Structure formats: C-alpha cells, structure tokens
Amino acid sequence: MEAEVVEAEIVLPTHLNFKRVQMYEKYPKGQARGRHWKHLKQIIQAENYQNYPPDEPNYVNIESPPPMHPCKRICDITGFEAPYFDPRTKLRYANAEVFKVIRSLPNDYVQRYLALRNAAVVLK
Amino acid sequence: MPFISKIERQTDYSQFDSTVPIVIDNGGSYFRIGWAGEDEPRVIFRNIVQRPRHKTTGETVTVVGDHNPALLRYFDCTRSGPRSAFDGNVVYQFEIMEYILDFGFDRLGADQSQIDHPVLITECACNPIQSRCRMAELLFESYGVPSIAAFGVDAAFSYKYNQQLGICNSDGLAICSGFMTSHAIPFINGEPAYEACCRTNVGGYHVTDYLKQLLSLKYPHHISKLTWEKVEDLKMEHCYIAPDYTSEVRIFQKGAKEAEEKTRCWQLPWTPAPAEEQPSEEELARKAALKERQGQRLREMAEAKRSSRINELENDIRGLEFLLKQLKQVEENNVPAFLRETGYASKQEIESNLAKAIQSLRKAKGEQVETEEKMDASMADKYNLVNVPDDVLTPEQLKEKRKQLFLKSTTEARQRAKQKRIEEELEREKQMKMEEEKRLENPERYLEDLRAKYRELSEKVEQRKRLKTNGNNTNGNQNGSGGVGRGERLNAAQRERMRLLTTAAFDRGKGEDTFGIKDEDWQLYKLMSRDNDDEEDEKSNEDEADLARVSSRLREIDPTFFPKSESGSSTAEPPRFRPLTKEDFQLILGVERFRCPEVLFQPNLIGIDQSGLDEMAGVSIRRLPCKNQGLEERITKSILMTGGSCQYPGMAGRLEAGIRMIRPCGTPITVVRASDPSLDAWRGASVYAAAMQFPNQTFSRTDYYEKGEDWLRRYQFNYTL
C-alpha cells in the first residue's frame, strides 16, 4: 500500500480488537456473500402482517395513500405547464417549439424522459 | 457544500466508564456516533461502503464512508460502486452494516476486547421485526454489547429535543424528510402516536436523482462532470421551493426579468482553442510561388516524358519502314530466311506493327484517333455473312456468322450509348441555359425557389437517414439507460424482420422443428436481408444527387448559404462548423431549481403515487385515534420540520399554505424548523441516553434470548422520562 493511503487510514483493517467474531471468519472468502440478504419486499412479505390486528401500526399500514389533489401535468422537457400530450412518444409538452424538440429526439432520450416519470416501457 | 464527515480517531475511549452509553444515529445518508450527554457526535460519515480492488496488489479492501477521491486513485473502483445497507429506510444488508459499525467503533477509539457500553441506536418508524432482530443479534454477538435500548425513531428524538428547547409543544406534529422517505408523526402528550403516522417514499435521494437526470438529458456532453456528489452540492446550494409552482413557472415561461435573475449559471472550466493566426501577406505570396514552381516542374517532367516517347515511336516506325523496304528488295526465295533474321513471322505482322506504331504516335501528338472510320469501312466486308440465310452456309461459315453477329450487336450498342450520352449532354446544356435565363430575369425569386427546394430535399434525406439508423445510434455516453435491447423501439423494417423470425421459429407444438425442410423456407432470409432495400436505396440516391446539385448551385450564386453539415445522430450535438464557445460549457439551472424539490410535495412528478408533505399532514391528523377539536388545533400550532431534506428555502411557507388548504378555515397554523435539522436526532438521542431513567428502558442480551422475537415486536419505549 502506498504511504499516503496507509496514513490516511481509509481502508478498514481486517482484524479489530473489540470484535468477538471477525469479518473474515464470518464470511470466508470465496463464498457467495450477500446474495442471501432478503430485500425489503421479501422482508415485508415474511412479516405476515395480516395475522396481526389491522389497527396496530406496522411498516405497511403507515404508508400514505394516493393524493387527493389532481395530478399536475408539467412538460417533461422544460418543466412549464403542459396542456398537450404527444401520442407517438407519450411525452407532455408546453408549446410548439418544445414539440419540435421532442420529435427530433432519438429514441433513447425519449425513454429516459419517460423513465423520469416512471412511464417508460420496460421490456423484461 | 463542505465535506462534513468527521472521521478522526478519538483517543479518549478509555476515559468513559462502562455505564456511559454510546449513541448511534443510523441514518440513510449519514451515520453519526458519539457519547451520550455530549452536544455533538464524535464521528460522522456517509453511510456507504465500497469494496474496490487495489490496482497493484489486487487485494479487495473495504472503504467505508466518503473519502477524498485523490486517495482512491490507487484503487480500481469501477467494479464496485458505493453500496448502502439500506433498502428504503430499513436496514437489510447486515454485512455492510457490520462494516459500518466496525468503522464507527474503530474511529470512536474502541480497542478493548468488546464494546462494554450500552448502545442506543435509531431505526425507522415501525421497523420490521426481522430487521430489528438482526440488528440486535449483530450487536450482541459480534460486539458483545451488554445491553441495547435500540430502536428509537429518529424523528421522535428530534421532536423531543426541540420540545426541550421550547421550539415545539408537547402536542404537535413532526414532519421529517429524510434520505429515502418522509414521515409525518403526530405527538400526543409527548409520545409519538404511531397509529396516525404516515410515510411517503420520497426523500432527498429522489430530489438529487431527478436533478441529475434532468441535467444529464439537457447537457449530454457534460455528463462526466455531473457526479452524484456534485449534483448534491448543486441541490443544496441552489434549489428552493416555490410558494406556488404554477405561478413560478409562468414567470419563467414569460421570460420576465425576474426569471433571469432567478436563473443560475454554472460555468465549467474551459480553455478557448488557440486562434489560428491569419498567415501574413508575404507568407501567402511565398506559398503561392512555391506551388507555382512545383507545378512548373511537374509540367516540365511530363513534357520531357512525352517527347522521349514520341522519339522512341518515331525510331520504331523508321526501323519498320526500313525493314519493309528491304523486304521488297529481297528476292522471293530468300523471304523466309530474311524474315527469320529480323524476328517477325510474316509481312503482315510487320505491317500491322507499323500501323500500330503510327497510331500511338498520332495519339501522343494529340491528334484524333480515327478508329471510327476504319470501322465503318471494314463493316461492310466483316459482316458479309450476317445477311446470308443459314442453310446456304457451311458449318465453319456458321461459326463465322455467329461471331460477326455478336460483334455487330456490341458495336451497335456502344454507338447507341454514345448517342444517348450526347443527347443527355445537350439536354443538360439546354436546362442550364434556361435556368440562367430565369435567373437573369428575376434573381430574387429564383434564389427563393432554389432555397425552398434545398430545404425540402435536405429534410427528406435526413428523415430517411434517421429512419434507417433509428435506434442503432446510441452514443457511448448513455450507459446509464441500462442494456441495449431494453426500451428501444424498433422501426418498421426491424419490426418486420422480427415478425418473420418469430413466425419461422414458432414451435407449432408438435415437438419437432420443421423449418428448413422445404426449400422455400430459406427464402425468408432474402426477405429479411438488409441489403435488399433496393427501392428505398434508389430513391434516396436520387434525392441525394439532387440535393448535391442544388447545394452546389446555391453555393455559387448565394453568398449567405451554408451547407447543412451531415450530422446523422441526435440533434443535441451542435453542428461542428463553428468552434466551441464559452456558452457551450455553461450549465443553466432555471426551472430545475424549483422543479426538483417540488417532488417532495408532488411525488407524481416522478411517478410515485403517494401524497406529498402537505397532504401527509392532513392524512396523519385524520388518522388520529381520538378526534377532538382542541387536540387538532394544538397539533397544528406546533408543526416541526426536521430531517436533512427539509432545509430548502421556502419550505416553511409552502407547507403552511398547503396545510391551510386542508384544515378548516381559521385554524392557527405554525410551522417551525428544527434548530439543526440534520443533527437534532442525534442530539435528542444523546440527551435521552444521558437521562437517569435510561437504564429502565434498555433490554439486555439475556432478556432478548429468553423472551425472543415476539417480545421484541412489542418493545417500544417511552420518550418522556
């Protein structure tokens, strides 16, 4: 290791005195590590919240509901108000100049703009 | 924004005795650890872990938190990005959590054989039991902690701290906007009411991500400069929340002076290209003279060659004529012997060689080649057999006849082609003359027509080009969009190809693939072949030829004409016939300044279908178990904003306006910001841990193992001591 790296101590040392079980013992090299951690969705599923009374607050039922206000439509490119909608690319636009820009965008830009709004078509 | 991590190793660990708790605020963005009772956490760092490989030794090391990028250049960080232990606001990756805790304890100065202090650690509201259990296990097993009072909600600690400071009352609402989520938690008599709590999955991360994407799409050239850290800095410095989005946006749309003042511009470092000096007069003159001299030299060389060739030919001709003369003088019997000496086989040969030499001489001298007339003269006797009917001829003569027919047809075809060419030339000249006349009568209109025609043609050509290469032209820059095949719409031709392929490969269910048994099946590939777009190619070639002609004409007569450069890829690329100027390196933040934090109030903007912060307050109050007017009023009188992502200017005003819209008219609403939104959670926890009754709220290892998971589920602690 280079001198300045050692001095700055940015690397985590492998053996720490205060630990009962060291990392390298717990996760020996070569084993597939980290693949067995459950993601949030799986954790929630495993919790079985439906077995408990619904009044009790738990991770799922404190989520907020969809909004009451109507959705505000803004132009995907400029951020202005967008009364218009392009059926071919499915982008919202504010005026004719923005429309020209939209129609001249290559396809991957269009998909990225849609992805901002979570409206892109994802082919799995 | 300054680099706020503090990672100095603390040296006074041993001075704290075993009853002093260690307080940890385990947040989505930063990890803060310190001693109870103190004002500031000792160690703060970003809650991420990287595992790069060292470039020379090849070993994989672990780097926790964010560090000076200059130090990281010894490591190959490309394969491992920074990883967080969180999914949303819940810890799920305990391996990473362990690295982080290691680092945290290490920097706090721990060096004995186990962590001998009680630990207070924060978690999210209504943390799933799994996560809680794992965390408890981690602390008990790996670190040997004697007792934990884990699991206080960070927003609650912050509220309590501010309540002590007098900023908010014992009944109130805490709106905590964090890294990945935002919560609205009401407090009744100083205790959080979790049944009325409300959570939306938007936070500072989403705002930064939105800003990053918008800027990358707007300025694709500067994508390398838009790193996550830089964008976060930009967000913290420049973003604000507009009191009303629509009216603010209208100001910008109108382009008023106010809008200009609100627009910020980020100038990237840029060096102008060194301007080419105009070569001075003498330079030009010298260069011209040089060229002249070179031209002259070449011409002389060509002349010399030509004259030497002419001389050679003349010599040859003289020699051959001499030979012929000699031949005439020689007697009959000696002819073969004579011929053998000279090396020619017969008299005809000599004569033909002579004729050839004379011809080449004439060509070298630049005279017309007179093959045509010779052809005509010999045509009559050459094709003598053509017109004679077949049955009269012998087999040899038939062969002769066929040869002659062939020769005749080819020469006729050649002549016809030449004729056609001459006609076309005449036609073109006529057209040019007409155009000239038109131009001379009405120069203005002619120019206009020509320009219009150019525009049409160029549009057609460009559109065809775009259709052809649509989807095939991804730049190397856009590696963020994930995968080549995903999200690319196929154009008509590609779709047709896909359809043919899939119908061919479709398994009719009988188990056996019968494609290819019949020969006609293979014709499919002809249909699909890209090279077979004959019709389209022809038309496009014609159009392009027309375009070239029109553009050259325009260039001649129109001084203001600029040929449109061939940029086949996205129009976001500036045409390169002008040098890059200072403006190209400026990133302008106008509408984005308030469009991005708007996401906190309208998660619909990024497609998340949940309420924004102002509505969340309303939902939370609605969910209160006991409805009484007085309580609600007390709650709205003391609304606290906390969490790192609530520091935007203008947020308090917007929140107040939003809540006023939902509550009955005339209710008193006060929105205050916490004294230090990022650190208050830790401070609250520290104060709590230092209190006398803290040990009553903790649970120990033995407790945990005896009573098990179920008990842990019900474990909550009282915030008022």
pLDDT, tens digit, 9 for 90 and up, residues A59-84: 888 888 999 888 888 898 888 888 89
CA gap B426, B428 in Å, rounded: 5
Q: B18 — contact with chain A (CB < 8 Å)?
A: no
Whether B98 sits inside 8 A of A23 (CB atoms) is yes
Nearest chain A Cα distance for residue B70, angstroms: 10
Residue B472: band (very low, low, confident or very high) from pLDDT cuts 50, 70, 90: very low
CA gap A15, A19 in Å, rounded: 8
Asked if B658 contacts B651 with a C-beta cutoff of 8 angstroms, the reply is no
Residue B577: what pLDDT?
A: 52
Question: How large is the average pLDDT for residues A34-54?
Answer: 79
Percent of chain B residues past pLDDT 90, beyond the cut: 13
For an interface test with B, which of A10, A102, A117, A124 has the most B Cβ atoms less than 10 Å from its Cβ? A10
Percent of chain B residues past pLDDT 70, beyond the cut: 80
Please state which of the ranges B174-183, B430-439, B556-565 shows the lowest mean pLDDT.
Answer: B556-565
Q: Which of A47, A57, A113 sits opposite B217 (nearest CB)?
A: A113
Is residue B419 pLDDT above 90, yes or no?
yes
* 8-state DSSP, B142: I
CA gap A92, A96 in Å, rounded: 11
Residue B623: what pLDDT?
A: 87
Is residue B246 pLDDT above 80, yes or no?
yes
Per-position b or e across B45-58, b if 16+ CB within 10 A of its CB? bbbbbbbbbbeeee
CA gap B329, B341 in Å, rounded: 15
DSSP assignment of B403-460, as one string?
HHHHHHHHHHHHHHHHHHHHHHHHHHHHHHHHHHHHHHH-HHHHHHHHHHHHHHHHHH
Whether A108 sits inside 8 A of B619 (CB atoms) is no
Chain position carrying tokens 């003498």: B282
Question: How large is the average pLDDT for residues A82-89?
Answer: 89
Mean pLDDT, all residues of chain B: 79
Encode pLDDT of B52-79 as tens digits. 887 777 777 788 877 777 777 777 777 7
Asked if B543 contacts B549 with a C-beta cutoff of 8 angstroms, the reply is no
Q: Which of A55, A65, A117 sits opposite B619 (nearest CB)?
A: A65
Q: A-B interface: how many C-beta pairs under 8 angstroms? A: 220
CA gap B585, B267 in Å, rounded: 6
Whether A37 sits inside 8 A of B63 (CB atoms) is no
Residue B372: what pLDDT?
A: 45
CA gap B122, B153 in Å, rounded: 6
Whether B90 sits inside 8 A of A40 (CB atoms) is yes
Encode pLDDT of B254-268 as tens digits. 888 888 888 888 888
Residue B133: what pLDDT?
A: 85
B499 three-state secondary structure: helix
CA gap A85, A78 in Å, rounded: 14
Whether A43 sits inside 8 A of B92 (CB atoms) is yes
Higher per-residue pLDDT: B418 or A41:
B418
Please state which of the ranges B110-114, B417-421, B434-438, B580-584 shows the lowest mean pLDDT.
Answer: B580-584
Is residue B370 pLDDT above 70, yes or no?
no
Instruction: Give the residue on A whose Cα is nearest the Cα of B568.
Output: A106
Is residue B563 pLDDT above 60, yes or no?
no
Residue B182: what pLDDT?
A: 92
Q: B458 — contact with chain A (CB < 8 Å)?
A: no
Residue B333: band (very low, low, confident or very high) from pLDDT cuts 50, 70, 90: low
Is residue B546 pLDDT above 80, yes or no?
no
Whether A68 sits inside 8 A of B611 (CB atoms) is yes
Residue B560: what pLDDT?
A: 57
Is residue B488 pLDDT above 80, yes or no?
no
Question: How large is the average pLDDT for residues B642-660?
Answer: 90
CA gap B137, A39 in Å, rounded: 18
Residues in chain B: 721
Encode pLDDT of B276-327 as tens digits. 666 677 888 888 889 999 999 999 999 999 889 888 888 888 888 888 888 7
Higher per-residue pLDDT: B622 or B568:
B622
Is residue B217 pLDDT above 50, yes or no?
yes
